[in-house]
């Protein structure tokens, strides 16, 4: 009989003790909390180092340009398609709802405000998390397990400057650009449905689109996008950089990067929305 | 040897990962221009020792001296200057798979020394030739080369910046015996050609005998024997005897 089985039998013989159970519960909660705080601390330290190396030389413009193209240009089709169909569905759904209150005229306004303030930044963030976050984690994770990151160090190249900083900068800069394009495409999707399916008059739809739209609506979405771009690239870099040995470790890093970036985007979206629009 | 200049010296270097005490006070030194090979089984601390010298792993305590200068606390530009003295051949090559061969070889020159890409390309071709690779491989990607060729590229990268000290991590692992011998010859030839000091870690005794001026054996994070390569067969140390014979019988018990 193993030691654990003997202990279990001894505990069974002594009977259930609520004090022991409570102590065990507290121990588990404490261990989980400490683990969580440790993870937050490690991530914060990693983010701090990443930001520091974004602003200190040497800089790698060729690598930055490559990341700008990869994150921005190559994400355009997936973000554009997402925005187009989101705008179209939004027009259809809001028309269905508003027609019950004879408020169909508000469709264009709802589409443009929803797209610029919420849907374009959040959906673009989530799509880029899937495309770019996973790719960054897999690439850096593979470099970690094949000792390429150690090789960088031996070749007098700081891994944070060479690998992390260009990706953080590119993510933070390019997501707002993608979201600006997604804003236009999403609103145009709503326009297509509004004019060609719901029989709105084109001039009226466009007028309603502009009527209540303010610069703040668009700019707040771009700030959110910038934060989401940072989150996506940070999580990709963090999980890739700390990838464990082997293919399984790289796979886990990739999954963790996408899941954690997606959750953080949704949480950050709430707090940013409250920050921008609280009391308005 | 009295009065010999020590290029690299480790004094009581210790490193633990949690409860796992990997290095338990490593003491070793290499004279300038000499080749030291550290032998030892898997998990004895060879890789952590070499990574501690390279600054990839920070030791918990102890001292690592390069040219008499303490290096464990070096940071920033001082660390960069120190790293420029080093070249490293990794066990798996660790070639950057997104870069062509020539850029892998010239990486340290372009990023570390600011050499222009054109000059770096010419130097990379020269280094590739010195390890027996034709210039036509320069524009290929690492995945397009065989294991032996990748090892040669790794060697070319390690010597590209004419380092003072070259580290070899299991240089012949994964190669057939003939290719392993070719790599051993190249290591000796290039190191002597540069006048470099070398520190190698391996469990390949054929490689150790060929490369080394001196051999040390590490066991459970400590150097248990250190002597001339020619004396390895008469070390009088039962651990060394068991290791070089590759015998299951002896004081070293493998955990299975």
Of the given ranges (A179-183, B82-86, B111-115), which has the lowest mean pLDDT? Answer: B111-115
Pairing of strands B20-31, B6-17: antiparallel
- Is residue A33 in a domain? no
Greatest mean pLDDT range, A220-234, B67-81, B103-117: A220-234
Q: Find where tokens 């930055």 sit.
A: A64
R_g of chain B computed on alpha carbons? 18
Classify residue B12 by its DSSP letter: E
**What band does A265 get if pLDDT is binned at 50, 70 and 90?**
very high
pLDDT in tens, A125-174: 999 999 999 999 999 999 999 999 999 999 989 999 999 999 999 999 99
Instruction: Say yes or no for a CB contact (<8 Å) between A151 and B56.
Output: no
Q: Given CB atoms, is B80 within the 8 Å cutoff of chain A?
A: yes
Q: Given CB atoms, is B53 within the 8 Å cutoff of chain A?
A: no
- Is residue A155 in a domain? yes
> Exposed (0-12), middle (13-18) or buried (19+): which is B188, by Cβ within 10 Å?
middle
Q: What part of B 102-131 touches A (C-beta under 8 Å)?
A: 107-108, 111-113
- Tally of structural domains, chain A: 1
3-state secondary structure A195-234: HHCCCCCHHHHHHHHHHCCCHHHHHHHHHHHHHHHHHHHH
pLDDT at B1: 46
- Is residue A53 in a domain? no
Chain A residues whose CB is inside 8 A of the B54 CB are 150, 153-154
d(CA B53, CA B37): 15
- Is residue A266 in a domain? yes
Where is pLDDT greater, at A40 or B77?
A: A40
Q: Given CB atoms, is B157 within the 8 Å cutoff of chain A?
A: yes
- Rounded to the nearest 5°, which phi and psi values hold at A146? -100, 15
Of the given ranges (A6-20, A61-75, A216-230, B66-80), which has the lowest mean pLDDT? Answer: A6-20
- Is residue A6 in a domain? no
- Is residue A220 in a domain? yes
Nearest residue of A to residue B161 by CA position?
A155
**What band does A247 get if pLDDT is binned at 50, 70 and 90?**
confident
Could you tell me how many CB contacts below 8 A there are between chain A and chain B? 53
The yes-or-no verdict on residue B178 having pLDDT over 90 is no
Nearest residue of B to residue A140 by CA position?
B96
d(CA A233, CA A90): 29
Instruction: Say yes or no for a CB contact (<8 Å) between A147 and B97.
Output: no
Mean of pLDDT values over B195-203? 93
| H or E element in which residue B36 lies | strand B35-39
Q: Given CB atoms, is A154 within the 8 Å cutoff of chain B?
A: yes
Of B90, B112, B113, which is closest to A151 when you measure between CB atoms?
Answer: B90
CA–centroid distance for A147 within its chain: 28
d(CA B76, CA A164): 17
Mean of pLDDT values over B129-152? 92
Cα four-point dihedral sign B239, B240, B242, B246: positive
Q: Find where tokens 């629009």 sit.
A: A277
Instruction: Say yes or no for a CB contact (<8 Å) between B83 and A156.
Output: yes
Residue to substitute from B94, B112, B158, interface A, most A β-carbons within 10 A: B94
For residue B219, how many C-alpha atoms fall within 13 Å in the half-sphere facing its CB?
15
Q: Which domain holds residue A89?
A: 60-271
d(CA A174, CA A72): 5
B7 SS3 class? strand
Distance between first and last Cα of chain A: 68
Instruction: Say yes or no for a CB contact (<8 Å) between A151 and B55.
Output: no
Mean of pLDDT values over B33-49? 91
Residue to substitute from A61, A155, A166, interface B, most B β-carbons within 10 A: A155
Q: Between the CA of residue A228 and those of A33, A55, A267, B120, what are the distances in Å? A: 26, 20, 10, 39
Instruction: Say yes or no for a CB contact (<8 Å) between A147 and B84.
Output: no
Contacts of B53 (CB under 8 A, 6+ apart): B8, B10, B64, B66, B71, B167, B199
Residue to substitute from B55, B66, B84, B96, interface A, most A β-carbons within 10 A: B96
Instruction: Say yes or no for a CB contact (<8 Å) between B97 and A148.
Output: yes
Of B86, B87, B94, which is closest to A147 when you measure between CB atoms?
Answer: B94
The DSSP annotation for chain A comes to --HHHHHHHHHHHH---HHHHHHHHHHHHHHHHHHHHHHHHHHHHHHHHHHHHHSSS---HHHHHHHHHHHTGGGHHHHHHHHHHHHHHHHHHHHHHHGGGT-GGGHHHHHHHHIIIIIHHHHHHHHHIIIIIHHHHHHHHHHHHTTHHHHHHHTT--HIIIIIHHHHHHHHHHHHHHHHHHHHHHHHHHHHHHHHTS---HHHHHHHHHHS--HHHHHHHHHHHHHHHHHHHHHHHHHHHTPPSHHHHHHHHHHHHHHHHHHHHHHHHHHHHHHHHTT-
Nearest residue of B to residue A159 by CA position?
B56
The yes-or-no verdict on residue A7 having pLDDT over 80 is no
- Is residue A127 in a domain? yes
Q: Given CB atoms, is A99 within the 8 Å cutoff of chain B?
A: no
Rounded to two decimals, the ipTM of the complex is 0.88
Using alpha carbons only, give the angle B132, B135, B141 rounded to the nearest 5 degrees: 100
The yes-or-no verdict on residue A15 having pLDDT over 80 is no
Chain B residues whose CB is inside 8 A of the A156 CB are 80, 83-84, 108, 111-113
The yes-or-no verdict on residue B34 having pLDDT over 70 is yes
Output the six-digit token pair for A155: 């070749």
d(CA A205, CA A107): 8
Residue to substitute from A144, A151, A158, A159, interface B, most B β-carbons within 10 A: A151
- Is residue A262 in a domain? yes
Of A143, A146, A157, which is closest to B111 when you measure between CB atoms?
Answer: A157
- Residues A263-274 as b or e (16 or more Cβ within 10 Å = b): ebbeebbeebbe
Assign residue B132 a region: left if phi > 0, alpha if psi is -120 to 50, beta otherwise?
left
């Amino acid at each position: 009989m193993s030691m654990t089985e003997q202990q279990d039998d001894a505990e069974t013989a002594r009977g259930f003790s609520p004090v022991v159970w409570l102590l065990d519960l507290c121990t588990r909660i404490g261990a989980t909390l400490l683990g969580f705080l440790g993870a937050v601390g490690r991530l914060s330290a990693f983010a701090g180092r990443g930001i520091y190396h974004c602003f200190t030389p040497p800089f790698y413009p060729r690598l930055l340009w490559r990341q700008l193209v990869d994150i921005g240009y190559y994400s355009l089709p997936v973000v554009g398609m997402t925005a187009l169909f989101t705008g179209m569905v939004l027009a259809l759904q809001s028309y269905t709802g508003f027609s019950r209150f004879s408020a169909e005229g508000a469709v264009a306004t709802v589409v443009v405000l929803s797209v610029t303030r919420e849907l374009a930044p959040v959906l673009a963030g989530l799509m880029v998390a899937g495309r770019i976050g996973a790719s960054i984690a897999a690439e850096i994770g593979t470099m970690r397990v094949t000792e390429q990151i150690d090789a960088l160090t031996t070749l007098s190249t700081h891994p944070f400057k060479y690998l992390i900083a260009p990706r953080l900068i590119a993510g933070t800069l390019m997501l707002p650009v993608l979201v600006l394009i997604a804003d236009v495409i999403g609103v145009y999707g709503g326009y297509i449905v509004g004019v060609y399916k719901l029989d709105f008059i084109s001039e009226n739809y466009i007028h309603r689109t502009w009527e209540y739209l303010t610069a703040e609506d668009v700019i707040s979405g771009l700030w959110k996008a910038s934060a989401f771009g940072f989150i996506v690239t940070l999580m990709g870099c963090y999980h890739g950089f700390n990838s464990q040995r082997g293919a399984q470790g790289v796979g886990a890093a990739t999954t963790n990067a996408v899941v954690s970036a997606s959750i953080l985007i949704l949480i950050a979206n709430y707090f940013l929305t409250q920050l921008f629009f609280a009391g308005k | 040897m009295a009065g010999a200049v020590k290029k690299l010296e480790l004094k009581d270097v210790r490193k633990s990962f949690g409860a796992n005490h990997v290095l338990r006070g490593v003491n070793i030194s290499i004279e300038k221009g000499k080749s030291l090979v550290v032998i030892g089984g898997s998990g004895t601390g060879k890789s952590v020792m070499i990574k501690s010298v390279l600054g990839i792993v920070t030791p918990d305590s102890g001292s690592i001296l390069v040219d008499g200068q303490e290096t464990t606390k070096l940071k920033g530009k001082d660390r960069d200057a120190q790293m420029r003295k080093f070249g490293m051949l990794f066990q798996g090559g660790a070639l950057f798979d997104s870069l062509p061969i020539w850029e892998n070889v010239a990486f340290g020159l372009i990023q570390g020394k600011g050499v222009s890409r054109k000059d770096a390309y010419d130097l990379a071709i020269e280094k590739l030739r010195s390890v027996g690779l034709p210039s036509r491989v320069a524009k290929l990607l690492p995945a397009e080369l065989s294991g032996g060729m990748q090892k040669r590229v790794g060697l070319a990268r390690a010597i590209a910046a004419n380092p003072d000290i070259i580290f070899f991590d299991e240089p012949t692992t994964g190669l057939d015996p003939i290719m392993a011998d070719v790599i051993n010859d190249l290591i000796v030839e290039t190191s002597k050609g540069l006048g470099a000091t070398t520190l190698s870690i391996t469990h390949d005794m054929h490689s150790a005998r060929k490369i080394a001026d001196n051999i040390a054996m590490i066991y459970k994070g400590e150097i248990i024997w250190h002597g001339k390569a020619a004396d390895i067969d008469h070390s009088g140390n039962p651990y060394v005897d068991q290791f070089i014979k590759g015998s299951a019988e002896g004081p070293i018990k493998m955990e299975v």
